[in-house]
Amino acid sequence: MSELHIGALIAVVTVLVLLTGVPVAFALGLTAIGALVWFDGIRALEFVPDVVFGSLENFALLSIPMFILMGGAIASSRAGSDLYEALDRWLYRVPGGLMASNLGACALFAALSGSSPATCAAIGKLGIPEMRRRGYADGIATGAIAAGGTLGILIPPSVTMIVYGIATETSIGRLFLSGIVPGLMLTAMFIAYSVVAARWTGGAVVDTGLRYTMRQKIEILPKVLPFLAIIVGILYVLYGGIATPSEAAGVGAVFALALVVVIYKVYQPGKLWDIVRSVTRESVMILMIVAAGDLFSYMLSSLFITQTLAMAIADMALNPWVMMLIINVFLLIAGMFLPPVAIILMAAPTLIPIIQTLGFDPIWFAVILTINMEIGLITPPVGLNLFVINGIAPDVRLPTILWGSLPFVLIMILGMVILSIFPQIALWLPNVLMGPGI
């Protein structure tokens, strides 16, 4: 049996195991161990402990639980509500301004929390009822929050980018920088659509009598600006050469927790324990996927599947953009069923040699891959954000939420097309601040 046939068989087995509902980490680990034993014999198990524990020795992995702690602390407070209210006070008179406020709040809160579901819950609980009350269609109100929540895995600090950097041995600093301009671009495109959609559907035509004075607009800023300063501070110490990603994440987590305690009085032992418990659970889940994913990659490499596939594609002499289209279709489909971290760890070791052979930049590809993962969060059958929004607004049917998020899916696809035509949108900032990539 050739390496390509073995790879196809392993792919089928992996999908079947995942469809049984087994946790992703166990599915990847069991498939990898089974393939190693089947094709290399029982002695292949000697290397499994070294690979698993070796994959967790990377110091950069420490940034994952630290950023999750930062997000967990912020998500446990009223920071999302205050962020939403602050933007609403400044934009409430703009046509479609409420929807723009929600999307802006989603982008900022998603960057702070790093969690798409947490963003949907924090902003959606206030934003969806208010948008519906002011005349926005149910689909637009729910779809905007579902899509806005996805921005957190692109705008830094992003756990997804950290995992990609570790899996591909790519600079995490460059990856963070590469997500800033595309993230802002998608946010601006979302907001532009919101204004147009508001005019088409009559949203924001309900006069609620709300009027905010300049004093009211300014008085809420002290609650919001310290959290935004954390992001600015993290980016400054990273690109100023002051700290590593792990050190910056640790300091950011401490400051976020301190701000939550001081500003929102979240100092009760029970509430702090809830934060630590949820952060520990999510961190362990991600790190287990990292370890299992690394074992899966080792299995593919030791069976020469990755190398053979890369050479086979190179020998096919396909147009690079045709191949990139095929890769994007694969990522879109995978994103409908699997979480972003699992897809990166499964696919990156195979895809990176291919895209480098085709002449594409791995930093640029990280942005394309991440946008694909964003689309997966709002597309069935597993689109997590859709179900979170449905839980917030149970009287809105799931198909209505799906149709409301569809325009944002099209906008993200358009964003990938723009990035393909103008890759410097993603590469300009890393090259300016950190020098041209190698």
What are 287-332's pLDDT values in tens digits? 888 888 888 888 887 888 766 776 776 677 678 888 888 888 888 8
Hey, is 417 helix, strand or coil? helix
Q: 132-174, pLDDT tens digit by residue? A: 877 778 888 888 888 888 887 888 877 888 888 888 888 888 8
Q: 415-425, pLDDT tens digit by residue? A: 999 999 999 99
Q: What is the mean predicted confidence (pLDDT) over 366-391? A: 84
Instruction: Give the mean pLDDT of the chain.
Output: 82
Distances (CA, A) of 221 to 103, 227, 232, 435: 18, 10, 16, 36
Q: Does residue 111 have a pLDDT over 90? A: no
Residue percentage of the chain with pLDDT more than 90 = 9
Q: 373-383, pLDDT tens digit by residue? A: 889 888 876 67
Pick from 29-33, 193-197, 268-272 the range whose average pLDDT is largest. Answer: 29-33
Q: What is the mean predicted confidence (pLDDT) over 26-50? A: 88
Is 64 within 8 Å of 250 (Cβ atoms)?
no
Long-range contacts of 354-357 (CB under 8 A, 24+ apart): 354/309, 354/310, 354/313, 354/323, 354/327, 355/324, 355/327, 357/310, 357/313, 357/314
Q: Within 10 A of 315 (CB to CB), how many other CB atoms are there?
A: 8
CB-facing half-sphere around the CA of 218: CA atoms within 13 A: 3
CB under 8 Å to 240, separation ≥6 — which residues?
none
Q: Looking at per-residue confidence, does 186 or 110 come out higher?
A: 186
The model's confidence at residue 96, banded by pLDDT at 50, 70 and 90, is low
Indicate the domain borders of the chain: 59-434
**Integer Cα distance of 431 and 153 in angstroms:** 21
Is 234 within 8 Å of 249 (Cβ atoms)?
yes
- pLDDT value, residue 205: 46
